[in-house]
């Protein structure tokens, strides 16, 4: 800062410092400065700018301008030559630019701002030789600024430099605060899964799956979870993460099929401030949030092809680029992907990248549907009964009616575990609001008479279903296996363990044809 010449300078410095240092909000400060300095010099716009050499971009922290002077952009990308000029300009220099055609950087900036008939004063701001940015004053027309105007601006360099430093630090604190709140929201949404999702069937139907989880959890390899909708792929992903060395770090879930195509890049990779209309702040994507932890990409088959290409790059190079950014950001993540779709078929149809398929398919785990692990149904049912009763604050847990469990075990469950959970919740609600003391019957589910379990357990279908119908179906199945042969080695009577005459009598009663003239279809 240059020394004041007289008492008027001291009064001017005092008044200017009051405008510059009397608020923490940079926009409020510049609005006051616009009014204050407009009374002492030509002024249509005042702005604080920072140069980002990594992206070769001038970032406009804040600006104030008269109503008839509008420039809404918050960043300007400049050519290499202009960037070199800025980097060479050190210290606390002040530049008067009354004719932009005589200055390469000014020509570019003025054009970007929509005008070339403009004068400017650019004051470099620095504290102890550390360059902070610039405060820029603009006025319409050429030859508007004089050496006296420059002297007045130099007098208040220090207040402006302190304001710039505080503004940058304040914005960084706000950014970190928003980032912390954002991360806490994500982690709170995920946290209950660590203790709230219990693995039911780890000793029976999911025993093989859990053995694979134990094998892969300590590693860093990609995992691909395959299985029908509702089989519990997210629960298995949780088990892998929380059994791994990354258990104390973020576990971020992304449903690839639930994000609109025009937002998925921003959601996954983040964006820089000003990257597109509405991008008022920098945003970290899910990959950055999951760094040092695990990213669970559910329904990976729904990703658009162009996003698949960027995902492949992340998996290969362990780095991402935000939208609007130009430099890579390293990420340390483990990816667990899941899908219910036939990825090899999608590859053949050109809807899924073959190289991404091979990259993801390092350690595939197939989760069986509920109909293939019926031994888990009793444990799952009782678990959901307890869970839903507690969640809905019902005073007591209902009991099952006789035959209800066998009814559940013989239902095909096209919606798998999710369908069972919804059924239990729906039945509890209906029961508690109608006849609270009545045992749960689950009458809305009907058994699959063609299933192996039903045919091998005819006693399971008691109640409204006739035992003769089950026996008939079972005999027909066995006859289909023997080609209609009733007696002798490998005949139906031998398989069923009854005398041939007893079997024929039963078949006559049930009107089941037999012999060479009968034709059967195997099940």
Strands of the sheet containing 94-97, edge to edge, are: 75-77, 57-65, 45-52, 130-140, 118-127, 94-97
- Identify which of 82-86, 187-191, 372-376, 514-518 has the greatest average pLDDT: 372-376
Exposed / middle / buried, residue 177 (Cβ in 10 Å: 0-12, 13-18, 19+): exposed
Reported as a single tens digit per residue, the pLDDT across 510-519 is: 888 876 545 4
Question: Which tokens hold the place of 126?
Answer: 């620095």
pLDDT greater than 50 at residue 81: yes
Please state, rounded to an integer, the average pLDDT across all residues of the chain: 81
**Both tokens of residue 355?**
């190289």
Give 473-505 pLDDT, tens digit per residue. Answer: 778 777 777 777 888 877 787 777 677 878 887
For helices 416-434 and 377-391, give the axis angle rounded to 10 degrees. 50
Determine the pLDDT at residue 458.
Answer: 45
Residue predicted with more confidence, 248 or 295? 295
The percent of residues above 70 in pLDDT, for the chain, comes to 83
pLDDT at 177: 65
CB of 261 within 8 A of CB of 219?
Answer: no
Q: pLDDT over 90 for what percent of the chain? A: 23
| First vs last C-alpha separation in the chain | 94
Note the pLDDT of residue 464. 37
Q: Report the distance separating Cα 331 and Cα 369, nearest Å.
A: 35
Selection from 106-110, 392-396, 420-424, 492-496 with the highest mean pLDDT: 420-424
Query: Residue 465 — very low, low, confident or very high, per pLDDT cuts 50/70/90?
Result: very low
Evaluate if residue 423 carries a pLDDT over 80: yes
pLDDT of residue 213: 92
């Amino acid at each position: 800062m240059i020394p004041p010449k007289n008492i008027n300078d001291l009064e001017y410095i005092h008044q200017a410092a009051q405008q510059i240092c009397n608020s923490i909000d940079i926009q409020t400060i510049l609005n006051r400065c616009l009014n204050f300095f407009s009374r002492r010099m030509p002024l249509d716009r005042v702005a604080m700018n920072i140069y980002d050499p990594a992206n070769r971009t001038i970032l406009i922290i804040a600006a104030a301008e008269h109503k008839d002077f509008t420039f809404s952009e918050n960043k300007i990308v400049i050519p290499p030559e202009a960037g070199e000029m800025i980097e060479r300009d050190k210290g606390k220099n002040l530049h008067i630019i009354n004719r932009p055609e005589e200055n390469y950087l000014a020509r570019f900036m003025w054009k970007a701002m929509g005008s070339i008939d403009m004068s400017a004063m650019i004051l470099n701001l620095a504290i102890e030789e550390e360059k902070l940015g610039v405060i820029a004053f603009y006025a319409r027309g050429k030859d508007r600024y004089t050496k006296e105007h420059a002297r007045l601006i130099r007098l208040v360099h220090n207040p402006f430099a302190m304001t710039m430093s505080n503004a940058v630090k304040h914005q960084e604190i706000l950014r970190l605060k928003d980032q912390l709140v954002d991360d806490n929201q994500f982690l709170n949404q995920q946290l209950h899964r660590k203790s709230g999702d219990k693995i039911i069937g780890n000793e029976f139907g999911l025993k093989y799956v859990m053995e694979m989880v134990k094998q892969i959890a300590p590693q860093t390899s990609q995992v691909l979870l395959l299985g029908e909708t509702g089989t519990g792929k997210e629960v298995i992903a949780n088990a892998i993460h929380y059994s791994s060395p990354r258990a104390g770090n973020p576990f971020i879930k992304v449903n690839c099929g639930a994000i609109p195509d025009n937002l998925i890049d921003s959601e996954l990779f983040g964006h820089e401030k000003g990257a597109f209309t509405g991008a008022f702040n920098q945003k970290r994507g899910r990959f950055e949030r999951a760094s040092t932890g695990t990213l669970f990409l559910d329904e990976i088959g729904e990703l658009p092809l162009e996003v698949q290409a960027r995902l492949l790059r992340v998996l290969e190079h362990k780095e991402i680029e935000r939208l609007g950014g130009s430099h890579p950001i390293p990420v340390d993540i483990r990816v667990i992907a899941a899908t219910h779709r036939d990825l090899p078929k999608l590859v053949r149809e050109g809807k899924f990248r073959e190289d991404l398929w091979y990259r993801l398919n390092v350690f595939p785990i197939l989760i069986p549907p509920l109909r293939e692990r019926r031994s888990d149904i009793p444990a799952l049912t009782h678990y959901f009964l307890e869970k839903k009763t507690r969640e809905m604050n019902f005073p007591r847990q209902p009991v099952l009616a006789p035959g209800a469990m066998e009814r559940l075990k013989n239902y095909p469950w096209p919606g798998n575990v999710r369908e069972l959970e919804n059924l239990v919740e729906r039945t509890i609600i209906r029961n508690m609001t109608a006849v609270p003391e009545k045992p749960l019957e689950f009458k809305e589910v009907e058994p699959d008479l063609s299933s192996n379990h039903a045919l091998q357990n005819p006693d399971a279908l008691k109640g409204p279903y006739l035992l003769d119908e089950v026996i008939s179906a079972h005999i027909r199945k066995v006859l289909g296996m023997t080609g209609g042969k009733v007696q002798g080695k490998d005949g139906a009577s031998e398989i069923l363990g009854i005398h041939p005459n007893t079997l024929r009598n039963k078949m006559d009663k049930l009107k089941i044809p037999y012999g060479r003239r009968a034709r059967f279809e195997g099940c």
